[in-house]
Structures are given as C-alpha cells and as structure tokens.
C-alpha cells in the first residue's frame, strides 16, 4: 500500500498494490499492520456501511462529537465519487480547510478520516457504491451536519450534468460552520488529539492478535 497524509492532519489517502491477471484482480484493502503504522492505533471496526448514489447526489458534511466521534475508512467499489474531508476542529492549524480525493472503481483508493473531522462526497456517476468501515456505531444524538455548500468552507464541488447537486432534506438544511461553532458542537483540536493518543495507549495494553507473515494466495 502507498499511504499519503493529506493536507489536513488526521486524513490519509491509501492506494493499494493491485495484482491483476486474466482472471481479474486482487488487492489488500486494509491490513492491521499498515493501518496502525500511519494512524498510531488499530482500526476497531464497530459498523460497516454501504451507500449507492445516483450521479449528482451530495452526501454530507457529517461529523460526530468527541468522544467517541466516528472515524471512517472509505472506498468506492464502483462508480466514482469526489470525496471531501473538512477540518472543523477548533484550534487545529488547518481549521476551516478542506481537501479531496477522487475515489472510484478503477483506482481503488481509500480515504481514512480520523475522529473529529467532517466528511462528505459527491457522486459523479450513477450507482456509485461507497463502502465505509466505522470506528463507532451510528448515534443520532451525537452526529451532526455542516452545510456542504457553506461559502466559509468554499468547497469546489464539481458540476455533474450541469445541474445543482441533489441532497437529502437534512443535508440541504444543515447549518453553516459559523452556526455550528456558536452551538458549541464542534470538536476541538486538543480533545481529538487526546482521544486518539489515549486510543493507541489502551490498545497497546491489550493482548496482541496472532498474525502471520504469509500473504494469502490470490
């Protein structure tokens, strides 16, 4: 795997090594060793989600309060999406910034969004299928939205088929970043870093999993 930390601390782009032949292809989507190496802790998966979107559908921006928030390991298995992570952590050196990764069924890339960041994506093709591994189960009392088209964030969403993006009612009426900040719901840089460090510390005190160096035959 090729792992690249994005411009926003706590967000990474993961590009797999694809093994292909006349039968098709095989690649490792996630390994405990690789993930722990860049994140500093294991990915404790508590929920796995799948969404299928028509071209022009915009989902997000979503975030969850810390603790425990909800880190996400996201890939697009078919179609194509413009995937965005926005830094909404008060006190962060990149607060208010955003970055993006193109995820599709050809490049097989994944984006990891750590706790405290906001996430969303725009489907560029019909039947764009996105898979998420999440570090916490969905908790509606602690999950919130930020307006994906907030001028303060100024996310440069692509135009799909020359029409405005299609959002759910909840996402379409989401408050802007300033209003969410006023509400006191935004995570802080300090609390997210403290939470992630503590997560790694707790895992290091747990018994190690049995691993093997032999790669599974593909």
| Separation CA 82–CA 59 (nearest Å) | 11
Backbone angles phi, psi at 17, to 5 degrees: -90, 115
Residue 207 lies in a domain: no
Residue 208 lies in a domain: no
User: Stretch 7-26: mean pLDDT, rounded?
Assistant: 96
Domain count, the chain: 1
| Residues spanned by the domain of 51 | 2-199
Residue 209 lies in a domain: no
Q: Which residues contact 41 (CB under 8 A, 6 or more apart)?
A: 196, 199, 200, 203
Each residue's pLDDT tens digit, 127-161: 999 999 999 999 999 999 999 999 999 999 999 99
Q: What is the CATH number of the domain that holds 107?
A: 2.60.120.10
Q: Does the pTM of the predicted model rise above 0.75?
A: yes
For all residues of the chain together, what is the average pLDDT? 94
* Residue 212 vs residue 207, higher pLDDT: 207
- Look at residue 218 and tell me whether its pLDDT is greater than 60: no
Residue 123 lies in a domain: yes
Residue 108 lies in a domain: yes
Spatial contact of 86 and 58, defined as CB atoms under 8 Å apart: no
User: Stretch 186-194: mean pLDDT, rounded?
Assistant: 96
> Would you state the pLDDT for residue 209?
53
> Would you state the pLDDT for residue 200?
87
Residues acting as catalytic residues: 62, 132
- What totals of helices (H) and strands (E) does the chain contain, helices first? 4, 13
Each residue's pLDDT tens digit, 79-128: 999 999 999 999 999 999 999 999 999 999 999 999 999 999 999 999 99
Indicate the pLDDT class of residue 201, thresholds 50, 70 and 90. confident
- Look at residue 213 and tell me whether its pLDDT is greater than 80: no
Indicate the pLDDT class of residue 16, thresholds 50, 70 and 90. very high
Residue 205 lies in a domain: no
Residue 190 lies in a domain: yes
Residue 50 lies in a domain: yes
């Amino acid at each position: 795997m090729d792992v690249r930390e994005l411009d926003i601390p706590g967000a990474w782009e993961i590009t797999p090594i694809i093994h292909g032949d006349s039968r098709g292809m095989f690649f490792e989507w996630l390994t405990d060793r690789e993930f722990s190496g860049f994140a500093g802790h294991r990915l404790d998966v508590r929920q796995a989600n799948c969404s299928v979107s028509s071209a022009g559908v915009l989902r997000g921006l979503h975030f969850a309060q810390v603790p425990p928030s909800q880190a996400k390991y996201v890939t697009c298995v078919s179609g194509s999406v413009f995937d965005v992570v926005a830094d909404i952590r008060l006190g962060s050196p990149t607060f208010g910034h955003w970055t993006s990764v193109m995820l599709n069924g050809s490049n097989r890339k994944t984006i990891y969004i750590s706790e405290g960041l906001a996430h969303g994506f725009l489907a560029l093709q019909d039947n764009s299928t996105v898979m998420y591994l999440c570090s916490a189960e969905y908790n509606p009392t602690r999950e919130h939205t930020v307006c994906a088209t907030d001028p303060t964030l100024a996310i440069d969403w692509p135009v799909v088929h020359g029409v405005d993006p299609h959002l759910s009612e909840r996402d379409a009426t989401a408050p802007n970043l300033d209003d969410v900040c006023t509400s006191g719901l935004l995570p802080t840089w300090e609390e997210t870093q403290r939470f992630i460090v503590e997560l790694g510390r707790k895992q290091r005190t747990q018994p190690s999993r049995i691993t093997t160096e032999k790669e599974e035959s593909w």
